[in-house]
Chains A and B, each alone.
Chain A
Amino acid sequence: MFRIRSTPSPSQMSRRLFLTAAGAVSLGAALTACGDSGGGSSASAKPVSQADIDKAMKTPTELTFWTWVPDIAKEVALFEKKYPAIKVKVVNAGQGTPQYTKLRTALKAGSGAPDMVQIEYQAIPTFTITNSLLDLRPYGAAALKNTFVDWTWGQVSGTNGEVWAIPQDTGPMGMLYRQDIFDKHGIEVPTTWDEFAEAARKLHKADPDVYLTNLAANQVAAWHGLLWQAGGKPYVTSGKSDITISVDDAVSQKLGTYWGGLAKEGVIGVEPDFTDAWYSALNKGKYATWITAAWGPVFLSGSAKATAGKWRAAPLPQWDASKPSSGNWGGSTTAVIRSTKNPIAAAQFAQFLNSDPASAKMFATEQFFFPATKALLTDASFVGDAPTFYGGQKVNQVFADISSTVSSSFQWPPFLDQAATDWTETVGKSLADGTDTARALGTWQSRLTTYAKKQGFTVHS
């Protein structure tokens, strides 16, 4: 039998006592948790002298580095070889959002955060808003500006010129397409979005089982990249608490009408990406193109083995063919957490890892990362690579050329996760359901504005 019994009086006494004690414990915990947040400001950034750096790099130190890059120990070994006093402990704390969640928890708890952390470009503002990243300027990071592709430097820089992270790899967007399907149906590689739409209609009409492409209804990163290409400026921050949200402006409306229209006509796919069904679809030729980023070619050759030799790469179709442009999707950086006890060594590590020529090259050859350094993007051994999966085409060269057309003024909001969720539930849903995407953009705008205001931002639109 189950029954909730009334407890006899003596234990009732003690229960009250315990509750009081519990309250006191949790209050204490809360107070210590609060004490650590809201650290100092980053206004003064005095340069660290070379002598200090030399001294720090010879002092035995242990650093912790959170990263999800497989086999990164090889690159880390290069650093440890150059600075034998410093040991780097590599921890895989999950990829992307799971890692950020752990990091936020550690930062809030006031202990357990790493010294250095891998962080994607789009996530940087969500950590600078909480004052969690170290400005790397005093440690000589500003001197690296010309080492990296211009637009990546814009991504890691703060509004007052702070350097929040060092670029590691990038994802300028292009289009992978199935040469065999194009040939079979007499489709030319589209160079403008108008041609692309025509090709989508033509292909689906000729073969109802095949779609020209899939615009995943869960992939806000692709949407942001396409918005970036179209010259959109959805989020502009000025100062710490002022933000302009314009995810429903003319550029967004143009995108919404275009993609929403194709989805409604049913001539493109809208299924979620990176799922079993999607992998099968790519392997079985349901889609004739994949609009993706520079990391896409290697990824695809691993996950769609059945289609080897049939794919080729091309730039994205353009809105204005006379001014080729592209956006970025993915790629990450190395940042230093403000709470580190060894800022000099940690900052030197972040810089060495990504700017040292040997280490940077290793990322391109071992992990097949698409480089962020200018040197590698003109390195013959990198851009000259001609994989058989792409019929011997120099795919890296295609994306290296695209990289120079990425605009450097795109910004991310300090609450990207919320923006992504809201996108999926408004714009993404409209694509999946074939409803009015242009109107869904308005809903996205208003949901995001409400959220930002509630979080204390001054919102302009």
Chain B
Amino acid sequence: MTATTTASPKGRRRDGPRRPGLGGASRRRSAGPLFVAPFMVLFLLLFLAPLGYAAYLSLFQERLIGGTAFVGLDNYTQALTDPQFLHGVGRVALFFVIQVPLMLLLALLFALALDSGLLRLARVIRLGIFVPYAVPSVVASLMWGYLYGPDFGPFAQIAQKLSLPVPDFLSEGWMLGSLANIVTWEFVGYNMIILYAALRTIPTELYEAAAMDGAGAWRIAWSIKLPALRPALLLTLLFSVIGSFQLFNEPKLLMNIAPDVITSSYTANLYAYTLAFTGQQVNYAATVSFLLGLVIVIASYAVLLTANRRRTP
């Protein structure tokens, strides 16, 4: 995947026409691999090797009694019909569909508001929205877990004071929403910064020209800013696909305070963790992780494809 920030619909070719008659061509060709070698070595060791090892592991089954046996694709056929895995994937997909649009919309609104220059204390606000991202998700989950508390949490306390029914944020029906709230709180600022940075790169001449043509602030936002934001929005969307499907920290921590709602297979990632460290089924965990990776690749690709298709009518 390559990122180019120039939004040319046809995609500009990077390599220009070959310049003929340069004597150093062959020497250059032999020096090239040397320059990329450090990257390739790291890429191989840190990225491909673990991936390959996981793929290798997923073809075996190790049992507490009887040792390790080669089982081929058995783990994969098992996972594809494993309700715990499928429910986990389904749940994060639902989470993605609900949480991500909300979060990106909020991020977009904040970014536009900050970019408009109409806000007082813009820097303070910008920092304020971004700060939750600096809070480790573990801390954030613990904090929200406390806020959600049904007896002594502040929301419950206020509800009790006003003699209103106490909302049970940690119940089965609310849980996904409670998780979405934590994740949104954490990542709105992060996405806002990306969008805001993209807004700052738009040449001001465009605004001036639009103003000359009689466009108001809303019109400028709709017709200039939003189209220019498309690449950045797509980027945040892709990050969100990956983040949502890998949902782990937040449910893992809320599990301590709501063990009857968040099961060990609540999300697919949590399931892989449980398999490896609770059930000692390392091989099956590798299979589940691999399949989850595949799901993420497909989902990312689908997002890209729909976005690109919409661009070229």
Interface residues of A (CB under 8 A from B): 1-5, 14, 18-19, 21-23, 25-27, 29-30, 34, 37-38, 97, 101, 104, 129-130, 217-218, 240-241, 271-272, 274-277, 280-281, 284, 286, 414-415, 417-418, 420-421, 424-425, 428-429, 431-433, 451, 454-457
Q: Take A27-B56, A218-B259 as given contacts and tell me if A4 and B279 are in contact as well, using a CB distance cutoff of 8 Å.
A: no
Q: Is the CB of A2 within 8 A of B259?
A: no
Among A37, A276, A284, A428, the residue within 8 A (CB) of B260 is A428
A2 in contact with B264 given A19-B48, A457-B65 (CB within 8 Å): no
Q: How far is the CB of B155 from chain A (nearest CB, A)?
A: 13
Q: Which of A276, A433, A451 contacts B145 (CB 8 A)?
A: A276
Instruction: Please determine whether A1 and B48 come into contact, CB atoms closer than 8 angstroms.
Output: no
CB–CB B256/A218 < 8 A: yes
Which of the candidate stretches B3-11, B127-135, B200-208, B216-224 sits at the interface with the other chain?
A: B3-11
B1 within 8 A of A: yes
Do B279 and A277 touch across chains, with their CB atoms under 8 A apart? no
Contact of B44 among A21, A27, A34, A274 (CB under 8 A): A21
Known A22-B49, A30-B56, A415-B64: A425·B263 in contact at CB below 8 Å? yes
Instruction: Please report the C-alpha to C-alpha distance between residue A241 and residue B67 in the assembled complex, in whole angstroms.
Output: 12
> Do A3 and B11 touch across chains, with their CB atoms under 8 A apart?
yes
Q: How far is the CA of A38 from the CA of B6 in the complex (A)?
A: 58
Q: A2-B1, A429-B260 are in contact. Are A277 and B44 (CB under 8 A)?
A: no
Are A421 and B2 in contact, with the CB atoms below 8 A? no
Q: Note all chain B residues with C-beta closer than 8 A to A456.
A: 63-66
Known contacts A3-B308, A415-B280, A418-B278: A29-B53 contact under CB 8 Å: yes
B68 within 8 A of A: yes
Asked if A433 meets B151 with Cβ closer than 8 Å, knowing A22-B52, A130-B64, A457-B64, the reply is no
Give, as a whole number of angstroms, the nearest-CB distance from B22 to chain A: 19
B residues less than 8 Å from A101 (CB atoms): 277
Residue ID in chain A nearest B284 by CB atoms: A454
A27–B52 CA distance with the chains assembled, in angstroms: 8
**Complex contacts, A218 vs chain B, CB 8 Å:** 256, 259-260
Residues of A close to B182: CB separation below 8 A = none
Selected from A2, A30, A240, A274, the residue in CB contact (under 8 A) with B238 is A2
Residues of A within 8 A of B64 (CB): 129-130, 414-415, 455-457
Enumerate B1-35 residues with CB–CB distance to A below 8 Å.
1-8, 11, 33
Residue pair A451, B152 in contact (C-beta under 8 Å): no
Chain B contacts for A276, CB-based, 8 A = 145-146, 149, 152, 257
A414 — nearest CB in chain B belongs to which residue? B64
Tell me whether A22 and B7 are in contact (CB under 8 A): no
Is A272 a contact of B256 with CB atoms below 8 Å? yes
Interface residue B231 (Cβ < 8 Å from any Cβ of A): yes
Q: Quick one: given A27-B56, A30-B53, are A272 and B48 in contact (CB under 8 Å)?
A: no
Across the interface, which residues of B come within 8 angstroms of A2, CB to CB?
1-3, 231, 234-235, 238, 304, 307
Per the bound structure, the CA–CA distance linking A372 and B109 in Å amounts to 63
Given known contacts A4-B1, A18-B44, A22-B48, A272 and B65 CB-to-CB distance under 8 angstroms: no
B301 contact from A4, A277, A457, Cβ within 8 A? A4
Asked if B274 is an interface residue, CB under 8 A from chain A, the answer is yes
Q: Inside 8 A of B51's CB, which chain A residues have their CB?
A: 22
Bound form: Cα–Cα A129–B66 in Å: 11
Q: Which of A22, A275, A284 has the most CB of B within 10 A?
A: A22
The distance from the CB of B102 to the nearest CB of chain A, in whole angstroms, is 22
Q: How far is the CA of A130 from the CA of B231 in the complex (A)?
A: 53
Taking a contact as CB atoms closer than 8 A, the residue among B8, B44, B152, B280 that contacts A22 in the complex is B44
Is the Cβ of B2 less than 8 Å from the Cβ of A417? no
Judged by a CB distance under 8 angstroms, whether B258 is at the interface is yes
Question: In whole angstroms, what is the CA distance A251 to B117 when docked?
Answer: 71
Q: Mark B39-60, 1 if CB is under 8 A from A, else 0.
A: 0100111001111110111000
CA distance A2 to B234 in the complex (A): 8
Q: State the Cβ distance, B25 to closest chain A Cβ, in Å.
A: 14
- For B55, list chain A residues within 8 Å (CB): 26
In the complex, which residues 172-190 of chain B have their Cβ closer than 8 Å to any Cβ of chain A?
none
Residue B150 interfacial (CB < 8 Å)? yes
B57 x A30 contact (CB < 8 A): yes
Q: How far is the CB of A25 from chain B (nearest CB, A)?
A: 5
Tell me whether B259 and A277 are in contact (CB under 8 A).
Answer: no
B65 touches A240 (CB 8 A): yes
B window 256-301: CB within 8 A of A: 256-260, 263-264, 274, 277-280, 301
B260 x A217 contact (CB < 8 A): yes
Inter-chain CA distance A104–B278, complex, in Å, is 11
Known: A1-B5, A5-B1. 19 other contacts (CB 8 A): A1-B3, A2-B231, A2-B234, A23-B52, A25-B45, A26-B52, A275-B256, A276-B152, A277-B151, A277-B257, A415-B64, A417-B278, A418-B280, A431-B260, A432-B259, A432-B260, A433-B260, A454-B63, A456-B64
Top 5 nearest A-B pairs (CB, nearest first) are A456-B65, A432-B260, A26-B53, A218-B259, A456-B66
Residues B11 and A1 in contact, CB atoms below 8 Å apart: yes
Interface string of B219-239 (1 = CB under 8 A from A): 000000000000100110010
B153, CB-defined interface residue at 8 Å: yes
Q: How far is the CA of A129 from the CA of B145 in the complex (A)?
A: 37
Asked if A417 and B279 sit within 8 Å, CB to CB, the answer is: yes
Residue with the greatest number of chain A CB neighbours at <10 A, chosen from B6, B51, B231, B278: B278
Shortest Cβ distance from residue A183 to the other chain B in the assembled complex, whole angstroms: 24
